[in-house]
Structure 1
Amino acid sequence: MYYIIYALDRPDAGDLRIKTRAAHREYLHRPDLPVRLVLAGPLLADDAVTIIGSVIVVAADSRSQVEAFSAADPYRHAGLVGSVRIELWNWTTGNPELEPAQ
């Protein structure tokens, strides 16, 4: 199953994001995660420059695995994140796992 993690930063946390970015990226690419990272990237404000949060898509067997993965993210530990939503997602279009073999 696929899940989307939609995390919005605290409005005053821009410097904190910069300070913890390396740890966050290292965490996302650890080989022992309880989920499989599918895609991830920052959410941008309308100015297309200011980062306001993150979207992470993972494959996992359960919501509890995704919740544990999200809770252990260095961004969360540092207090950068103001809110998090985790939603089950049905990835259909553009999913290479569903594309017919050629």
Structure 2
Amino acid sequence: MFFAFLCTDKPGHLNVRMETRPPHVEWLNGLNAAGTLKMAGPFLDEDGKPCGSLVIVSAETIEAAREISAADPYAKAGLFEKVEVKPYNWIFNNPEA
């Protein structure tokens, strides 16, 4: 089953995002190598600067997806104001369909 992480950065925390980006990318690369990561990327504000994240993973349960989300170095660094973990039904352009 797929799950989407809808992550909203805390205002004024772009520096935290940039400082934590290398371990975040390493974490995503590990999920990708394991076949867990399906897609990921930042949301952008009006100025084109990152202000949140969308991450879609494959997991057995929502609890497992929440554990994956909590392991994100961005989450551990306190970057996010809010994280929603929602079941996701990938209909269009799903390469696995």
- Let me know the Cα RMSD of the aligned residues: 1.9
SS in 2 for 1:43: strand
State the 1:46 CA deviation. Answer: 2.4
Structure holding more helix per residue: 2
Q: C-alpha distance in 1, partners of 2:31/2:4?
A: 20
Q: In structure 2, do the counterparts of structure 1 residues 64 and 35 end up closer, same or farther at CA, with 3 Å as the change threshold?
A: farther
Identical-residue share of aligned pairs (%): 35
- Structure 1, unmatched stretches of 5+, are none
Question: Is the Cα contact below 8 Å between 1:35 and 1:66 reproduced in 2?
Answer: no
State the 1:96 CA deviation. Answer: 1.6
Correspondence for 1:21: 21
User: Normalised by the size of structure 1, how large is the TM-score?
Assistant: 0.87
Deviations 1:36-86 (A, max 9, x none): 000000000123x11110000011111111100111111011111110001
Highest CA radius of gyration, 1 or 2?
1
Q: C-alpha distance in 2, partners of 1:44/1:20?
A: 17
Q: How many positions carry a matched residue from both structures? A: 97
Q: C-alpha distance in 2, partners of 1:58/1:82?
A: 20
